[in-house]
Structure 1
Amino acid sequence: MDKFENLQTSSENKQHYIPMEVTPETIKDFGINPADVVWMRIGNKPKKVIMIPVTEEQYYEYMRPLWREDKRQQRQEPMASLDKMYEENEYEAADTSGLEADVMKQIMIDELYAALDGLEEIDRTIMEMYSTNHSEAEIGQAVGMSQRGVGKRKQRILLKLRTCLQDYK
């Protein structure tokens, strides 16, 4: 069947067609040519059908109730409302507060790395060892300072970093 026959009427001879649902059993039992079987939406589901030639009177008798039901449904459907759709389908707006916090955290981390890169070599070493839970005594041995000197220097570095990152609180 070509696609123009699915329009229910052929302009050449005013022949009308109506769909008849078929199953594999009916195709086999009635010897229907599988090439004549097409998919058509009946209601809201696609079905396998064959198009049956009918008289104009039969066509209108078959189609009028379908047209009537379509029109009735169109009249009953209220105007679409986003609020009503949200209520009926329980849609929720995405919670972006976590996303915003994550983005701000990433920006703050990037700024912290930039501030750490701006430190002197010895200060970077102290902060690196401090971040990996080394004691002030261990850090002092690694950089050639006393434990007390490392503590004071660490406090100055932390104050400098807090100052650099104060805009991100």
Structure 2
Amino acid sequence: MEKSENLQTNDGSRQYYIPMEVTAETIKDFGINPSDAVWTKIGNKRKKVIMVLVTKEQYYEYMRPIWREDKREQRQEPMASLDKMYEETEYETADNSDLEADIMKQFMIDELHKALNELEEIDRTIMEMYSHDHSEAEIGKAVGMSQKGVNKRKHKLLLKLKTRLTDYR
């Protein structure tokens, strides 16, 4: 992704910069100081750029599509579901069973159920709907929250549950 900057000056005002790709020819033709050109990653490739001072409006106009794309990619990333959190807890056949591992798996499942039962009603609803593949927008409508609010709360809940279960892995 493209790197941009938002810097605060000594007087408290902000300066906004966005990258502009340059080549050796561009540097020469426009009299750009070669030391002003830096390497940064744009997309999947490293590019030589100069940071151009822009207005706040230009900065946000430039960054909004990038932020939207980042958010779209985040939403497409598969999140760990509750089912997947203890998918590996299925009991093995007796031929290759490890009694200690089976007991630890059962403790982990019990601890997960306790943790879920201790959640607030809204959090249990979010996790229940999420485990049944409902979208964040659908969950938000059901619990009276915005999609972004559901996303943040869901991430906090998953982290809380994962942290609680670390002793059982």
Q: TM-score range by the shorter chain?
A: 0.3 to 0.5
- Higher RCO, 1 vs 2 (CA within 8 Å, ≥6 residues apart): 2
With normalisation by structure 1, the TM-score equals 0.42
TM-score (norm 2): 0.42
Which of these two proteins has the greater Rg computed from alpha carbons? 1
